[in-house]
């Protein structure tokens, strides 16, 4: 038994990979955009996330995705949720589709009045 195993107990044989440490990315839909001010809201029901509205700012968009002014309601996006003082915020946002294709799913759950 090595000295490290003796000191620290069971050490994994494989190193921890960076993908294991990456933050969780979730999928949602844009439900509101305030173009003049550069912010909006996303909703998601993935993996137990039951958020009605998750705030996002144009600075949270990935550089290789749509420009903020090209975003539209109902676009499907992937993002990382981040807890901020003001509440949950979406960062590292990437558009997955343009929202033009309607599915048989009830899209009313993503609407905000």
What's the pLDDT score for residue 6?
Answer: 59
7 lies in some domain: no
Q: What is the pTM of this model?
A: 0.65
In CATH, what number is assigned to the domain containing residue 64?
2.40.50.140
pLDDT digits (tens, 9 = 90+) for 27-74: 999 999 999 999 999 998 876 666 678 999 999 999 888 889 999 999
State the number of CA atoms in the 13 A half-sphere of 24 facing the CB.
9
Report whether 108 contacts 38 (CB < 8 A). Answer: no
Task: Give residue 101's pLDDT.
Answer: 45
Provide the domain count of the chain: 1
Strand-pairing partners, residue 40, are 33, 56
For the chain, the average pLDDT equals 77
33 is a domain residue: yes
Range of 83's domain?
27-100
Give CA–CA dist 108/105, Å, rounded: 9
With respect to residue 13, please indicate whether it lies within any of the assigned structural domains.
Answer: no
Res 20 pLDDT > 60: no
**Residue 107 confidence (pLDDT) above 60:** no
Say how far apart CA 44 and CA 109 lie, in whole Å: 10
């Amino acid at each position: 038994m090595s000295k490290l195993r003796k000191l620290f107990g069971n050490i994994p044989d494989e190193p921890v990979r960076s993908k294991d440490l990456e933050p969780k990315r979730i999928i949602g839909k844009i439900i509101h955009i305030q173009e003049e001010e550069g912010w909006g809201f996303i909703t998601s029901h993935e993996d137990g996330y039951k958020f009605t509205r998750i705030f996002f700012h144009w600075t949270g968009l990935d550089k290789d995705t749509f420009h903020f002014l090209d975003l539209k309601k109902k676009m499907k996006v992937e993002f990382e949720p981040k807890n901020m003082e003001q509440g949950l915020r979406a960062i590292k946002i990437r558009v997955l589709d343009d929202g033009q294709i309607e599915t048989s799913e009830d899209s009313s759950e993503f609407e905000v009045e």
